[in-house]
Amino acid sequence: MKQVLETTGLVCPFPLVEAKDAMQTLESGDELVINFDCTQATESIPQWAAESGYPVTHFDRTGDASWTITVQKA
């Protein structure tokens, strides 16, 4: 299952705070697609994923200062 978390417009740390919240509701193997436009989250979300042992299955730009990252719950 894939869940989409729209955080565009939120400044740091809220994209990550909300991503952590949303992740708690997911089952192992589910994916969370996080759309964000806070630059610092390009560092903090991959860092959180790596530290939590969650694989990142997709990470790309969606436009100027807009990104999408897909983190799988493991």
Partner 1 sequence: MIVTGLVVGLVLGFVFQRGRFCVTGAFRDLTLTGNTRWFSALIVLIAVHSAGLFLLGTLGVITLEESAFPWLASILGGLIFGFSMVLAGGCATGTYYRAGEGLVGSWFALIFYALVAAVMKTGPGAELTTGLRSITVENGTLQSSTGLSPWVFVAVIAAIAIALTVHHRRKQTVPLATLPPRKTGIAHLLTEKRWNPFATAAVIGVIATIAWPLSAATGRNSGLGITTPSANLSTYLTTGDSSLIDWGVMLVIGILVGSFIAAKASGEFRIRIPDKDTVIKSILGGTGMGVGAAIAGGCTVGNAMVSTAQFEYQGWVATFFMIVGAGIAVKTTIRTRQQTAAPAVAESRSA
Which residues of this protein are in contact with partner 1, per CB under 8 A?
A: 1-6, 9, 11-14, 17-18, 21-22, 31, 37, 39-40, 42-44, 46-47, 49-51, 53, 56, 59-61, 63-67, 69
Question: Shortest gap between Cβ of 28 and partner 1 (angstroms)?
Answer: 15
Considering the complex, state which of residue 28 and residue 51 has its C-beta at the smaller distance from partner 1.
51
Q: How far apart are CA 30 and CA 12, in angstroms?
A: 24
Report DSSP state, residue 36: E
Reading phi first (left if > 0) and then psi (alpha if -120 to 50, else beta), residue 65 is in left
Positions marked catalytic = 12
